[in-house]
Structure 1
């Protein structure tokens, strides 16, 4: 065991967990004031549900002994982490429990990402049910495909086969472009279709109610993402350093890319655009963080942000109501980052593979496309079936009245903002006014 590697992975795990509250703020600021608590709760609920499932069967399903030709690990092999708690249980140079904790955070935020597509209209209980079923049926198997590498003996012989995308196919996904972002983005599209459009969309303006909250969330995501990407080296080493630098410059370039598109298309650069560019860049560099150089990562971030900025408005033309642009940012950004590996990968980066632009031909690009397409199709179809099953059994969407008056009140019996107005001198009276009932406040919202 290496204490430095262990410390880095544990710190990275904490950083990745922080990303989910950061996502809650990012999403919470983007919705209307009457829906912000429900948005926060969907992320917090994901932590609760997936955290428990991961310890029970999630880790086993992803990293247990393969039982399906690269498709699935044994779900109950390490039930409750049995057999992994001893000092002699190691994953490389770190305790297995540290790796369990790190990977748990990936499972949590992947589920939370989906919630942005169905903001303003989703019942909380059925959302938790979806989170549980989707984790077991979709995320755990896909994570096995992508993250579980073959175990080999000293002679290089495979003694513990892993997932088919990582090993048989040989597609590169350093920290989750396919397993996290394409996976969540495809599920988001499926759920948006299952739940249908929000009341009044797209005719009524549904602008973010709190842009500072959005920027705070984006900042927390960027901060935590250094653990997400650099922590995926599973050691405090040179690969972690390269992933850290690539995460910085790709995201910076993506921010510029999104703002350039806005300036040319709309005539001005916006705060929401800057925050969206940050997230698009983080998404795109996630699969490529160890396979491209810093120059390549700048190209990956900039190109991905341009594609995402152009993809977001397509929902109006295609008619699907992806409330907070999970499809436009995470699905498109994940696809862009995954495919651009096939173009910009360089042998001088830790992964040691050349893409098309470095003389590697089309081979790696084909592998990337096949892996991305398989995850997209699997996640979309299964998510659609799960969503429809919940819709026609327990019901998935709030009532029309609750949607119009405020989902926070109907689902959680709370209001995000209580503004107290005091009466005249000596009156001793106070009125509690919510943002939903104040015409002046409604008019002042962006």
Structure 2
């Protein structure tokens, strides 16, 4: 039988991981990247003796694939993807590919905001609870690479809508949907219903033996669920009202009720993650832990000692009584809303970058009540000026993290917070949100 040819588009973490697994499974593998491949990934491909190209996509070497694994960043409208589909060549995600070769059970977490935090918290709880668990997806090491080299019983996977778009046979044992707010609409024809449909794919292929966990406070989710037949066992979480099965809030106590198990309770003041949105994230992770039947003491301990991820409401320093907070991972308006909602002081807000069709309307009330000045950090700040010129007295343009921090420091006074929460992607001035956050931290250290 002829050897199956797998072509991988994109040689980042997921692409190189997919190459590793495909090679292990005995496939002929070819990796193609339009950009330059990072040195560490290039040397990995070379040591595995995987053929690759960079700086181009050679159609002759790609259109003869039996199957293509593409980077989530490549849009389905790309001419090359269209050409593959015309020829009937399957195009899938690395996650879909990796799941074929593992018997491990998966907790799959998606949503517009809070995915990384909830994924990390869930992983932390499961690991501390004694499970042999891996962390992958949009975060950490590639899922495919871990399937090739490790032997975990469980994986906690952070799943983006782009990944879901390229998943067909994939099935989550436990799926978790945190929220749906406008994001990446440029990828969905600027239609919210297309984006919602993409997020609901987290439920696809789930059976009566599986579990689906969702936020009952989210209007988009409840509206979408009303028109669907839901097969898995379902648990909701809410901070507004009691739910019969799932998690809710009462007198600042978090309650989790699952089947006939002893209920879980914890005061929200003891949670490591503070702020209203983080109660949702803690509830979601707590339900997962209860479904897996971890001990209440172990869950409580993990929820109390968790350390959040970098670039997400990360306290950098206090200088002259001014707090500097790095929330560079806030690449959409909703994330910035959550950041402002959790602030208890006057804020000098650093925002801006690549605008993905943002609607700043939802920030107006919080900006009016909490923000004394906006420092724009991006090449084109026109829409930020238009949105907030009536709400704050000072809006300044800057073109580097250093300049933004210097100006914000002079605009703030003792007791204020300088918050980097951009509401935009970072690609105009930075490599990615990590680079933006790191440059911000460096600039703060230089004050």
TM-score, with length taken from structure 1: 0.30
Structure with more relative contact order (C-alpha pairs < 8 Å, separation 6 or more): 1
Structure ranking higher in helix proportion: 1
Structure ranking higher in strand proportion: 2
